[in-house]
Structure 1
Amino acid sequence: MAHPSLLKSIGEEVMGKNGQVQLSQVCGPDRILGLYFAAHWCAPCRVFTPQLVALYTHVRENTKHQLEIILVSSDTDEAAFRDHYADMPWLALPFSETKRKVRLSRQYKVTSIPMLVLVESRSGRVITRAGREMVTSDPEALHFPWRPRSVGDILASARLVDPEGQEVASEDIKDCYKGLYFSAHWCPPCKAFTPQLVAAYDKMKKKEENFSMIFISSDRSEESWRTYHSSMPWPSLAWEEEEGRGELAATLEVKGIPTLVILAPDNSVITTDGRAEFSEDPDLVRFPWPSQSVEVLAARHMSRLQDTPCLILFTDGEAAEVQFGRDVLLPVAEEYLLEHPQEGGLTLQFFVAGEDEVGDSVRDYACLEDVVPLVAILDPAQGAKYLLEEGVEVSTATVHNFVTRYTNDKLTPLPIRPLTPAATNTS
């Protein structure tokens, strides 16, 4: 049986060599699903596809693992799609499923192709998004399905040292809240941010006594690492722990530096956006910055609006109105997030916005009327918006109904930006 999130994002049927195939037929306990994002026009894809075919055949014939792959094509021409798919022995998302292809690309954060994402078909959990790199480095599938080590396991096995080079026992910080600080001496933004973090470190430890920071270096030489580490009061992964540093960056999907990741004592991620959290909360009122079901829309959320659909309740920005918005949304958000966890799908995010630069820019972008209160679901990647009907009182009950209809695909999307007359002129 396929996980419900996979059925929703992929569909109940996929395309096989001899007709349609029920997705649930290729899913089940211990079955691995590979989503292969590729296109005929992509030269690296044409190079990688034969490697993947070889691995696919080897895994299915010579190992205990049950692997199925589904092509998610980026081709814009059906003839090219079929020509490309002809060289593949696996399944494919039908060429016509444009919306599903966009959804899958967003869901699995596909920024370039070829890309191979491995998923547990029964749970919907991502095993790795680095399948292409794994196929290249392990063509015999000796370590398939390439499950990454957990953050806790990586830290437990790594050697930690203090700024003087003395070893620090990982057991000493095993059960602490942890800040993983990805940074480098050569990086100008890092050199600007590090003194701020050092100045706040004692206050962080007073705010959360069971807290420790760990420096994860991206320096280019051991000398630079030592010099830079000497400016910090916390431990670092030792210079020789290159593999551990790379694993942590990959597992936590660190895309750039400086990055501050905050972990709970069980090593679950509280936030990967600690730098922005600190910038907005320099007095550490909310430290260690746990996630909230409903957040007040701020500049740091802009990338999230591009990545995942968001419900925004626009207010006039007065403290009482912002609180009203939070009170209205909180029961809806908590119920929704309980039923639609982050793992395995695109999850609706909930925000209250005021009449400030951020709120105004979102209104302008989505061509929303300057009225309050206004409730909208925005999905820029799909070019769609959904509006709570004019004249409907904004309450927990009406917002709950609005979200339920959205979840069940009962709302009619509007273009996020109206088409210009030039765009609609077909003469």
Structure 2
Amino acid sequence: MAHASLVSSIGEQLQSHSGAVSLHDISGPDKIIALYFSAHWCPPCRAFTPQLVSFYQHVKENTKHQLEVVLVSSDHEEEAFNHYFGDMPWLALPFSDTKRKVRLSRQYRVTGIPSLILIDSRSGRVITKNGREMVTRDPEALTFPWRPRPLGEVLSATTLVDPDGQTVTYDSIKDSYKGLYFSAHWCPPCKAFTPQLVAAYEEIKKKEGNFQIIFVSSDRSEDSWRAYHSTMPWLSVSWEEETARRELASSLEVQGIPTLVILAPDNTVITTDGRADLTEDPRGERFPWRPQSVDILAERHMGRLQESPCLVLFTDGENTELQFGRDVLLPVAEEYLLEHSHEGGLTLHFFVAGEDEVADSVRDFACLDDVVPLVAILDLSEGAKYLLEEGVEVSTATVHNFVTRYTNDKLTPLPVRPVTSTATNTS
């Protein structure tokens, strides 16, 4: 049986060359599903597909592993899809299921194609989002299915050094909060952020002595790494540990630098957005910056609004109103997130907004009336918005009902921006 989260995201029926195939038939213990985001019009995709075909056949014929690939096409025309899919020995998401394609791309944060994401079919958990790189690096599937090692295991097997080059054992810091700082000397934003991080680190250490930072370098030479590390009062993964640096970046899906990831003493990830957290809280008053069920809408959240559906309660910005908004949303958000945490990128995010430039820009973009309080669910990537009905009192009960109706597809979406008369009259 497929995990419920996979059924929700992929659907129960997939397309083969001979008809429909049930997702449940390709799921179960030790069965891996690889979502292949690709398109015929994309030259890198056409170059990678033969490699993937060869790898797929090798796994089927020469290993004990059970792998099924599912094409998630970005083709615009069904004829192109049919032509491209015709040369593939695996399954596909039906071409007509365009809405699901968009949601899958958002859920797994696919920013470019080709992209290959491996999922454990029984648990629904992502094994790796770097399938394309791994197929190229390991064409014989020697380490397939490339399950990441636990972070603690990676760190404990890695040589750590202090700024003087002295080796420090992982055992001496294993029970600490840890900040993994992905950075490089050649990177101007990194060099600007590092002094801020040094100042915050010293403040946090005064209050929370149980905190260590480990520099994970992306420098291009050992000399640059040494020079940069000498400006830092914390540890570093040694220069010789290139594989460990790459493994840490891959496991934590680091997309750019500088990135600050905060780990709990048990090495669970608290936040991958430590840079933004520190910028908002430079003295570390809220360290270790655990994610909030309800956030105050800020500039840093604009990317999230573009990626995922978000519920925003707009207020007049007074402290009492912001607190009222948090009190209203918190029970709803906590219940929702508990029930829907498996949905990854499609999970609804909850925000309270005041009267500021960020809130005004969101209102303007989504063509929302300038009234308070106003509750809206914005799904900007799909061009849809849902509004709590005018005249309904804003309370935990009414917002809970609103979210329940949204979750059960009982709300009618409105366009984020009104349809122009020109578009309306186009046939």
TM over 0.5: yes
- Tell me the residue number matched to 2:183: 183
Matched with 1:41 is 41
Q: Is the 8 A contact 1:217 1:225 kept in 2?
A: yes
Shift of 1:154: 1.5
Query: Residue 236 of structure 2 aligns with which residue?
Result: 236
Correspondence 1:22-421 to 2 at 5 A: 22-342=22-342, 344=344, 346-421=346-421
197-206 vs 332-341, which deviates more? 197-206
**Other structure's SS at 1:266 match:** coil
Which SS does the other structure have where 1:341 is aligned? helix
Does the 8 A contact of 1:161 with 1:236 survive in 2?
Answer: yes
* 8 Å Cα contact 2:33-2:121 kept in structure 1: yes
Which piece of structure 1 moves more, 206-215 or 77-86? Answer: 206-215
SS at match of 2:147: coil
Deviation at 1:425, TM superposition (A): 2.7
Identity of aligned residues (%): 74
Q: 1: CA distance between counterparts of 2:263 and 2:47? A: 39
Say which SS state the counterpart of residue 119 (structure 1) adopts. strand
Deviates more, 1:36-45 or 1:73-82: 36-45
SS of 2:33 mapped into structure 1? strand
Q: Structure 2 vs 1, CA of residues 158 and 246 (structure 1 numbering), >3 Å: closer, same or farther?
A: same
C-alpha contact (below 8 Å) 2:106/2:345 kept by paired residues: no
Tell me the distance in 1 between the aligned counterparts of 2:232 and 2:291.
27
**Ranges of 4+ aligned residues in structure 1 off by more than 4 Å:** 342-345
User: What letter matches 1:288 in structure 2?
Assistant: P
CA contact (8 A) 1:316 1:354 kept: yes
Contact 1:315 / 1:373 at 8 angstroms: preserved in 2?
yes
Give ranges in structure 1 of 5+ residues lacking alignment: none
> Is contact 1:9–1:345 with CA below 8 Å preserved after alignment?
no
Q: CA deviation at 1:343?
A: 5.7
The answer to whether the 8 Å contact 2:322/2:354 transfers is yes
Secondary structure in 1 matching 2:284: coil
In angstroms, what is the RMSD of aligned CA positions? 1.3
Give the Å deviation of 1:345.
5.1
Q: Is the 8 A contact 1:180 1:261 kept in 2?
A: yes
Mark the CA change 1:342 to 1:177 in structure 2 (over 3 Å): closer, same or farther: farther
Q: Distance in 1 between matches of 2:391 and 2:207?
A: 46
Give CA-to-partner distance per residue, 1:326-348, whole Å, 9 cap, x none. Answer: 11111111111111115655111
Distance 2:251 2:98 in 1: 29
Deviation at 1:123, TM superposition (A): 1.0
What's the secondary structure of 1:340's corresponding residue?
helix
How do 1:7-22 and structure 2 match up within 5 A? 7-22=7-22
> How big is each residue's C-alpha offset from its partner over 1:150-207, in whole Å with a ceiling of 9 and x where there is no partner?
2222211110011111101111111110111111122222222211221222211123
Residue 424 of structure 1 deviates from its aligned partner by 2.3
| Cα shift at 1:236 | 0.7
1:302-328 superposed Cα distances (whole Å, 9 cap, x missing partner): 111111111111111111111111111
Secondary structure class of the residue paired with 2:406: helix
CA distance in 2, matches of 1:313, 1:303: 18
Q: Do 2:311 and 2:375's aligned partners in 1 also have CA atoms closer than 8 Å?
A: yes
Q: TM-score, normalised by structure 2?
A: 0.97
Q: Is the 8 A contact 2:314 2:374 kept in 1?
A: yes
Residue by residue over 1:195-253, the C-alpha shift from the partner in whole angstroms, topping out at 9 and shown as x without a partner, is: 12212222111232211111111111111111111111111111111111111112112
The whole-number CA distance in structure 2 between the counterparts of 1:236 and 1:83 is 50
Amino acid at match of 1:6: L
Residue type of the alignment partner of 1:300: R
What is the identity, as a one-letter code, of the residue corresponding to 2:413? P
Amino acid at match of 1:417: R
CA contact (8 A) 2:308 2:345 kept: no
**Residue pair 1:208, 1:288 contacting (<8 A) in 2 also:** no
Q: In terms of mean alpha carbon deviation, does 155-164 or 10-19 score higher?
A: 10-19
Moved more, 326-335 or 260-269: 260-269
**Cα separation, 1, equivalents of 2:284 and 2:372:** 31
Separation in structure 1 between the aligned mates of residue 154 and residue 358 of structure 2, nearest angstrom = 39
Counterpart of 1:3 in structure 2 is 3
1:2 is paired with a residue whose SS is: coil
TM-score scaled by length of structure 1: 0.97
2:312–2:353 CA contact under 8 A, matched in 1: yes
Q: Does structure 2 conserve the Cα–Cα contact (< 8 Å) formed by 1:124 and 1:343?
A: no
Q: Read off the aligned partner of 2:194 and give its amino acid letter.
A: T
Compute the displacement of 1:420 (Å).
Answer: 2.1
For the residues of structure 2 that align with 1:137 and 1:169, how far apart are their CA atoms? 30
* Counterpart secondary structure, 2:346: coil
